[in-house]
């Protein structure tokens, strides 16, 4: 690449800054650092024990403490060197890494896709004095004051986060309180949508985890500490503000995007979100567990420009970073993120692009079959698919909130039924008491005790009757009914209210059945994930057997409720449950009513065909995005090598050690460039627009649209096949079939 002398990194690090009686070699600590970055589960003690085994000496506990101190010093030195290198490269601004790890695509509807989520594995314990004698309160803090800023530009500081707490919104200039948003359909399904859960403090922990944001290629955007709270909305608002204030519009995947959208609208972030055209989405892993109304608004399948991305990058990242839990420190988290960005995410970037490209082409290859299916179900104009989705959404919104009058009628129906039941039991108790009563001389002790018990039951029923009567009278006042207008059994009003109650019971049974089936599907998918051990598979298998019994019970309850409705709803059997992999069918099943059974979008065949159509459209969008990303990656590789060579030459004469460190920094990523360009299915080419730090666009003079599929590959298509495929998808997406 360019000539630079190779330095042998040698020397020793002290265990104690004042008493340098013992030292450890720089190379030993460097070896542990690289092992730890590749396997965060490797603690210092096992490493020290291995060194003792190699040297043939006995392990001592103080060696682990000494090596730990030396490792902290090593990290401080490394961070200092990285800062000098970034300054020499002109990349030391707080936003540079965030803006340049994954550039926004000007040509696309959604310029950048992010995934955000909280993770409670990386907790940090808070040191306190012993609790009070009664044990009801924690002792005072005894943490040593530390004004250092940890984590570098990977962490957003708590002061910037606290500004987005709802209690601080009134301090934002120009913000005016808005009315509360309507009830969120999924609020009862997700615990982190309830402020009572996210606001609370968790035991003895000072930090309850981290809230992170990652681009779709797994590059880290920023971390936030969740301090003494759960997954509070302020962390999402602070992260989005931090990013949108410095960047462009983006699409954000979040498992509770439906609820957070309402929070954004009410918050001071709303103006910036509208300006930057922020799109909130639900990742595919969590999407099908949401209410159908949420899916129509936030599921990636129905969002223009989303492509085939699942936006579950947080789940994948946290699955690996959880290994940092035993050594939760800023330096460990930040260094792991740095290593993962430069050594893993960048290395796998081309594989990610090629994999998505082939996956998108695989979806597009089904275009002819999808066209035949669309004709078979009568979807002759593809534009009707979007219209039917809007109709379904409007229908569900109209039935989202039960009218207050219907709720009152249902409550009155139940209260009246309980009153009549209580009165019947009271009449029987009185009759029994009269039969058992007799002259005192004729009563023996057992008979007398039974009579006392019967009398007590009768008195209890009388008190219950009085209480229920007050409830009934209160509801009659709300309904405007007089005493002589009280409902009778089998009256028109009584039957209407009974239907409302039965429908509510039916929906509850459908929700229960769906919940158990969701758990079953997730468990099955977990069993097939690579890396799931034998014991875990056995555990999941045993749980599945027990879960199946619960599903059978819920199925029987559902069918009983479905049969009681007029007209009866569709009954299900065990095979239906096994085949319900598309969980949206349960949402539809819950909301199905007689007035929509004849709607085209309510028919299962049409719904499945529409789903395939939207997959084709998203696959076409993915191809467009990948064409841009391929050119950007290739341009980046060329420009980075040229830029690093220039900077190294600039510093080689007056500061050769710094030039060497700059060369090493450039090698962290450039060493993967050769393997990227040799990857099967990846065609080398140069040319793309590239965003610089100040937001301007650099256009390469050699920019050309390259087909990323290797034409010499066995898996590539002929030009005729590609033309046919393109023609088919364009016909489906734009013209009547």
Per-residue three-class SS string for 326-337: HHCCHHHHHHHH
Structure tokens at 680: 């099967």
> Which residues are CB-contacts of 328 (< 8 A; sequence separation ≥ 6)?
122, 123, 124, 207
User: At a CB cut-off of 8 Å and minimum separation 6, what does 573 contact?
Assistant: 555
Average pLDDT in the 477-494 region? 83
Length of the chain measured in residues: 737
Q: Which of 249, 253, 231 is nearest to 303 (CA)?
A: 253
pLDDT band at 571 (very low <50, low <70, confident <90, very high): confident
Residues 575 and 629 in one domain: no
Lowest mean pLDDT among 317-321, 397-401, 617-621, 650-654: 397-401
Q: What is the pLDDT, as a whole number, of residue 733?
A: 39
- Quote the CA–CA distance of 338 and 33 in Å, as a whole number: 13
**638 is written with which tokens?**
């060329």
455: which 2 tokens?
Answer: 């009398």
Q: pLDDT tens digit string along 220-242?
A: 999 998 888 878 889 999 999 98
The domain boundary, picked from 421, 455, 487, lies at 487
Span 54-67, average pLDDT: 90
What's the mean pLDDT in 169-176?
Answer: 87
Share of the chain above pLDDT 70, in %: 72
Judge whether residue 735 has pLDDT over 50: no
Same domain, 213 and 313: yes
Q: How confident is the model at residue 53 (pLDDT cuts 50, 70, 90)?
A: very high
Give the whole-angstrom CA distance, residue 289 versus residue 255: 10
Asked whether residue 241 falls in the same domain as residue 211, the answer is yes
Token pair 């002929």 is at which residue?
718
Q: Do the beta carbons of residue 155 and residue 224 sit within 8 Å?
A: yes
pTM (predicted TM-score): 0.72
Pick the more confident residue, 564 or 192: 564
Phi, psi dihedral angles at 595 (to 5 degrees):
-75, -5
Asked if 33 and 105 sit in the same domain, the reply is no
DSSP helix/strand/coil, 95: coil
Q: Does residue 460 lie within any of the structural domains?
A: yes
267 shares a domain with 339: yes
User: What is the band of 707 on the pLDDT scale with cuts at 50, 70, 90?
Assistant: very low
Q: pLDDT grade, residue 644 (50/70/90)?
A: very high
Describe the crossing of helices 604-652 and 584-591 by its angle, rounded to 10 degrees.
140
CA distance 228 to 206: 6
Quote the pLDDT of residue 701.
33
Q: How much is the pLDDT for 597?
A: 58
Residue for token pair 């004469």: 653
Is the per-residue pLDDT at 362 higher than 70?
yes
DSSP state of 340: I
Q: In this model, does residue 51 exceed pLDDT 90?
A: yes
- Say which residue, 633 or 202, is predicted with more confidence: 633
* pLDDT at residue number 734: 40
According to DSSP, the β-strands at 124-125 and 12-14 are unpaired
What single-letter DSSP state applies at residue 38?
Answer: H
Q: 515 is written with which tokens? A: 């919940």
Return the higher-pLDDT residue of 704 and 535: 535
pLDDT more than 90, % of the chain: 12
Q: Which residue has the higher pLDDT, 512 or 199?
A: 512
Q: What pLDDT does residue 164 have?
A: 92
pLDDT at residue 643 is higher than 90 = yes
126 occurs within a structural domain: yes
Angstrom CA distances, 303 to 37, 279, 298, 365, 488, stand at 37, 9, 7, 21, 51
Shared-domain flag, residues 643 and 517 = no
Residue range 360-364: mean pLDDT, rounded: 90
Is 709 found in the same domain as 578?
no
Q: What confidence tier does 135 reach under pLDDT thresholds 50, 70, 90?
A: low
Instruction: With a cut of 50, say whether residue 693 has pLDDT above it.
Output: no
Contact 283, 300 (CB under 8 A): yes
How confident is the prediction for the chain on average, in pLDDT? Answer: 77
- Mean pLDDT over residues 40-59, rounded? 91
How far out from the chain centre does Cα 167 lie? 25
Residue 584 lies in a domain: yes
Q: Is residue 527 located within the same domain as residue 479? A: no
Q: Is the pLDDT of residue 679 over 70?
A: no
- Maximum alpha-carbon separation in the chain: 123
Q: Are residues 504 and 483 in the same domain?
A: no
The answer to the question of residue 573 being in a domain is yes
The pLDDT score that the predictor gives to residue 686 is 37
Say whether pLDDT at 736 is over 50. Answer: no
548 and 513 housed in the same domain? yes
- Domain count within the chain: 5
More confident residue, 682 or 574: 574
Q: Collapse the DSSP code of 490 into the 3-class scheme (helix H, G, I; strand E, B; otherwise coil) and give the result.
A: coil
- The tokens for 644 are 């690093």
In eight-state DSSP terms, residue 13 is E
User: Is 1 part of any domain?
Assistant: no
Ranking 52-61, 185-194, 466-475 by mean pLDDT, the lowest is 185-194
Q: Are 638 and 389 in contact (CB under 8 A)?
A: no
Q: Which residues contact 386 (CB under 8 A, 6 or more apart)?
A: none
Quote the pLDDT of residue 728: 43
Quick one: average pLDDT of 503-508? 81
What span, in angstroms and rounded, lies between the C-alpha atoms of 586 and 600?
A: 18
* Measured distance CA(186)–CA(289) in Å, rounded: 9
Confirm if 497 and 409 have CB atoms less than 8 A apart: yes
Residue at 379 is within a domain: no
* pLDDT band, very low/low/confident/very high, at 280 (cuts 50, 70, 90): very high
Q: Would 367 be classed as within a structural domain?
A: no
Q: Tokens 């209890």 identify what position?
A: 460
Residue 353 inside a domain? The answer is no
Q: Which domain holds residue 322?
A: 97-132+148-345
Residue that is last in its domain, among 440, 464, 487: 487
Q: Does a cis peptide bond (omega within 30 degrees of 0) precede residue 567? A: yes
Whether 547 and 659 share a structural domain: no
Q: Please, is 186 exposed, middle or buried when counting C-beta atoms within 10 Å of its C-beta (0-12, 13-18, 19+)?
A: buried
Q: For 592-598, what is the mean pLDDT?
A: 55
Single out the residue in 457, 487, 517 at which a domain terminates.
Answer: 487
Q: Same domain, yes or no, for 421 and 539?
A: no
Distance CA 686, CA 296 (A): 39
Task: Please determine, for residue 48, whether its predicted confidence score (pLDDT) is greater than 90.
Answer: yes
- The single-letter DSSP state of residue 128 is B
User: What are 419-452's pLDDT values in tens digits?
Assistant: 888 888 888 888 887 777 766 555 567 677 777 7
């Amino acid at each position: 690449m360019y000539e630079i002398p190779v330095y042998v990194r040698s020397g020793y690090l002290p265990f104690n800054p004042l008493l340098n009686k013992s030292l450890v070699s720089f190379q030993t600590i460097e070896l542990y650092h690289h092992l730890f970055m590749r396997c965060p589960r490797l603690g210092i003690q096992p490493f020290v024990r291995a060194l003792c085994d190699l040297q043939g000496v006995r392990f001592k506990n103080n060696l682990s403490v000494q090596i730990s101190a030396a490792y902290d010093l090593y990290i401080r030195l490394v961070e200092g060197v990285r800062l000098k290198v970034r300054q020499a490269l002109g990349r030391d601004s707080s936003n540079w890494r965030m803006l340049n790890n994954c550039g926004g695509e000007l040509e696309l509807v959604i310029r950048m896709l992010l995934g955000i989520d909280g993770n409670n594995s990386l907790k940090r314990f808070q040191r306190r004095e012993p609790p009070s004698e009664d044990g009801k309160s924690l002792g005072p803090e005894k943490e040593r004051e530390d004004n250092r800023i940890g984590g570098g530009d990977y962490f957003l500081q708590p002061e910037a986060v606290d500004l987005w707490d709802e209690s601080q919104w009134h301090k934002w200039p120009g913000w005016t309180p808005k009315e509360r948003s309507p009830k969120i359909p999924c609020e009862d399904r997700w615990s982190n949508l309830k402020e009572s859960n996210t606001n609370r403090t968790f035991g003895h922990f000072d930090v309850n985890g981290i809230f992170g944001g990652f681009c779709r290629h797994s590059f880290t955007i920023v971390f936030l500490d969740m301090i003494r709270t759960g997954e509070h909305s302020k962390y999402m608002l602070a992260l989005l503000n931090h990013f949108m204030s410095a960047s462009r519009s983006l699409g954000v995947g979040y498992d509770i995007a439906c609820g957070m959208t309402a929070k954004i609208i009410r918050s001071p972030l709303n103006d910036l979100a509208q300006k930057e055209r922020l799109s909130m989405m639900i990742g595919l892993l969590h999407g099908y567990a949401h209410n159908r109304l949420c899916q129509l608004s936030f599921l990636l399948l129905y969002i223009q420009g989303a492509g085939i991305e699942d936006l579950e990058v947080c789940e994948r990242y946290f699955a690996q970073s959880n290994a940092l839990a035993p050594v939760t420190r800023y330096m460990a988290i930040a260094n792991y993120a740095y290593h993962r960005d430069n050594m893993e995410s960048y290395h796998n970037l081309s594989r990610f692009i090629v994999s998505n490209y082939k996956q998108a082409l695989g979806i597009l290859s089904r275009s002819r079959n999808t066209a035949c299916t669309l004709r078979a179900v009568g979807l002759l104009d593809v534009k009707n698919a979007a219209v039917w989705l809007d109709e379904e959404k409007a229908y569900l919104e109209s039935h989202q909130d039960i009218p207050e009058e219907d709720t009152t009628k249902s409550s009155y129906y139940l209260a009246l039924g309980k009153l009549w039941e209580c009165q019947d039991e009271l009449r029987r108790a009185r009759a029994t008491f009269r039969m058992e009563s007799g002259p005192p001389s004729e009563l023996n002790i057992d008979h007398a005790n039974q009579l006392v018990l019967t009398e007590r039951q009768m008195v209890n029923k009388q008190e219950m009757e009085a209480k229920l009567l007050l409830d009934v009278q209160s509801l009659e006042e709300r309904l405007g009914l007089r005493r002589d207008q009280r409902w009778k059994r089998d009256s028109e009003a009584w039957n209407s209210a009974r239907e409302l109650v039965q429908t509510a019971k039916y929906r509850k049974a459908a929700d229960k059945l769906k919940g158990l089936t969701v758990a079953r599907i997730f468990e099955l998918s977990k069993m097939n994930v690579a890396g799931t051990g034998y014991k875990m598979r056995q555990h999941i298998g045993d749980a599945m057997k027990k879960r199946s019994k619960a599903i059978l019970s819920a199925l029987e309850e559902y069918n009983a409720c479905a049969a009681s409705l007029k007209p009866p709803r569709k009954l299900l059997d065990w095979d239906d449950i096994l085949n319900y992999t598309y969980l949206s069918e349960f949402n539809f099943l819950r909301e199905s009513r007689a007035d929509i059974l004849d709607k085209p979008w309510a028919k299962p065949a049409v719904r499945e065909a529409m789903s395939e159509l939207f997959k084709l459209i998203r696959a076409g969008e993915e191809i467009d995005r990948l064409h841009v990303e391929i050119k950007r990656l290739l341009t980046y590789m060329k420009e980075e090598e040229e830029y690093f060579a220039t900077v190294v030459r600039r510093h080689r004469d007056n500061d050769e050690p710094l030039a060497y460190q700059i060369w090493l920094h450039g090698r962290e990523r450039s060493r993967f460039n050769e393997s990227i360009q040799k990857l099967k299915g990846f065609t080398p080419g140069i040319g793309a627009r590239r965003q610089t730090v100040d937001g301007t666009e650099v256009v390469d003079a050699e920019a050309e649209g390259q087909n990323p599929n290797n034409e010499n590959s066995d898996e590539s298509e002929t030009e005729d096949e590609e033309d046919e495929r393109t023609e088919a998808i364009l016909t489906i997406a734009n013209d009547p079939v």
